[in-house]
Amino acid sequence: MIYLDYAAATPMSEKAINAMKPYLAEDFFNPSAPYLAAKKVREAYEDAKNQIAHVIGAKGNDIIMTAGATEANNLALSGASHILYLITEHDSVRNIARAHGGEEIAVDKNGIIDLKDFASKLTDDVDMVSVSLANNELGTIQPIVEISEIIKKARLSRLERGIKTPLYLHSDASQALNLVNISVARMGIDLLTINAAKVYGPKGVGALYVAHGVKLHPLTLGGGQENGLRSGTENVAGAVAFAEAIADAHEHINGNRKKYEKLSEIMRRELLDCFVEPVFLGSRKKQLANFVPVCFPGIDAERIIFKLEEQEIYLSTGAACAASKGEKSHVLKAIGLSDKEINGSLRISLGEGNNEEQVVTAAKAICKVVGEEYARING
């Protein structure tokens, strides 16, 4: 099998699996129970939260553990009343934002935020801005520091004019966490979503960083865990595995970036040999190193995917979730692609298990199938 869909899911690392095992059985105690064995579990949980937070330059007490990035995004945005969000955001941001006075910010042809459009929409009643650090279809990395500078100026201006509406910056770093050094303070981020499922940790585990002073509405009420923002017995095994996975990702960020730059370069070079000329999407300079979003105009990408699957090569059209609903990608629409171009778009996302040989084999297989499809369509 050649797996080229790491943006959809990563396998759990051995280290993460081993780290979580003790907390599934022998150390199963509820961390809130009063006996010593449970207190040790509580300690392990707090240590895990500290480790996770450390990677983004925060403290354990600043993060709220959640059951994945969808929940973290919902928790971040559900208390807001007028949200500006990037048109290319993941559905877990778009759908909650739309329910809370959501207004879209435009992007350019590479999927980068249109800062002029953003500044013009940043009126005094906007209380939340949500821009992901990196997009899940194009891998586009947003200029988050420039965005937070604009927000800081708007806050200052509000203060001077006696306007009390708060203004927060939320960023979904689900895809970026593997390959971008994140510091919430340096980047001026008030709320940050992270996702274990994309960094070789368990699915259904994520967290929301919450800066001091930011007021949120809890989604679940109950025993008051996670500073009252996320009631429910803590997922200790999940947090411990996330901590292990995220620490590993962080330690190897530079090496991994170089590895994926090289592999994606090889993939691009090989795809240029295809009979139908590929159009690479996004700007290479502002893109996660492991992403190769590519379009073969006029070719049906769905058919390419099925044919490659027969050869045990797995990749995706746009985002896995949009594709499974049979919807056209809102991200590719937002960067101005025509329906024909959207239909011919593939998302290749590289990861741990890939090497040069696999990339060359997969690229040749893609070219072969694209050529066959071209011949079929054009008689």
Segment lying near ligand PLP (by CB under 6 A), choices 34-42, 154-162, 169-177, 231-239: 169-177
* Between 163 and 320, CB nearer to ligand PLP: 320
Reading the block at residue 275, the tokens are 């009979």
Name 287's bridge partners: 140
270 near ligand PLP, rule: CB under 6 A:
no
* Between 76 and 308, CB nearer to ligand PLP: 76
- Options 88, 175, 290, 329; binder of ligand PLP; rule CB under 6 A: 175
- Name the residue type at position 264: S
- 69 by Cβ neighbours in 10 Å (0-12 / 13-18 / 19+) ranks as buried
Q: Is 321 known to be catalytic?
A: yes
From residue 32 to residue 71, the character string flagging contacts with ligand PLP as x (rule: CB under 6 A) and all else as - is ------------------------------------xxx-
12 near ligand PLP, rule: CB under 6 A:
no
- Options 13, 51, 130, 136; binder of ligand PLP; rule CB under 6 A: 136
Relative to beta strand 83-86, strand 103-105 is parallel
Reading the block at residue 25, the tokens are 């059985």
Rg of the chain taking only CA atoms, in angstroms:
22
- 215 by Cβ neighbours in 10 Å (0-12 / 13-18 / 19+) ranks as exposed
- Options 10, 88, 132, 317; binder of ligand PLP; rule CB under 6 A: 132
- Name the residue type at position 161: R
* Between 323 and 363, CB nearer to ligand PLP: 323
Q: How far is the CB of 369 from ligand PLP (least distance, A)?
A: 25
Please name the residues in contact with 144: beta carbons below 8 A apart, sequence gap of 6 or more: 131, 133, 169, 171, 187, 188, 189
Q: How far is the CB of 12 from ligand PLP (least distance, A)?
A: 13
- Options 5, 62, 104, 172; binder of ligand PLP; rule CB under 6 A: 172
Rounded to an integer, what distance in angstroms lies between the CA atom of residue 362 and that of residue 343?
20
Question: Could you say which of 274, 295, 321, 367 is catalytic?
Answer: 321
In contact, 345 and 332? CB cutoff 8 Å: yes
174 near ligand PLP, rule: CB under 6 A:
yes
* Between 92 and 264, CB nearer to ligand PLP: 92
From residue 213 to residue 252, the character string flagging contacts with ligand PLP as x (rule: CB under 6 A) and all else as - is ----------------------------------------
Q: How far is the CB of 11 from ligand PLP (least distance, A)?
A: 15
Q: How far is the CB of 107 from ligand PLP (least distance, A)?
A: 15
* Between 8 and 80, CB nearer to ligand PLP: 8
Q: Which residue has the tokens 């973290």?
A: 72
Q: Is 360 helix (H, G, I), strand (E, B) or coil?
A: helix
Name 184's bridge partners: none
Q: How far is the CB of 46 from ligand PLP (least distance, A)?
A: 23
Rounded to an integer, what distance in angstroms lies between the CA atom of residue 147 and that of residue 143?
6
From residue 80 to residue 99, the character string flagging contacts with ligand PLP as x (rule: CB under 6 A) and all else as - is ----------x-x-------
Question: How many helices (DSSP H) and strands (DSSP E) are in the chain?
Answer: 14, 12
b/e per residue, 89-98, with b = 16+ CB within 10 A?
Answer: bbbbbbebbe
* Between 90 and 259, CB nearer to ligand PLP: 90
Tell me how far CA of residue 327 lies from CA of 147, 300, 308, 320, 362, in angstroms.
Answer: 30, 14, 21, 10, 26
Segment lying near ligand PLP (by CB under 6 A), choices 18-26, 157-165, 168-176, 350-358: 168-176
- Options 10, 51, 88, 195; binder of ligand PLP; rule CB under 6 A: 195
Q: Which residue has the tokens 């079929």?
A: 376
Rounded to an integer, what distance in angstroms lies between the CA atom of residue 8 and that of residue 300?
21
Q: How far is the CB of 272 from ligand PLP (least distance, A)?
A: 28
Which amino acids are annotated catalytic? 321
Which residues contact ligand PLP by CB under 6 A?
68-70, 90, 92, 132, 136, 172, 174-175, 195, 197
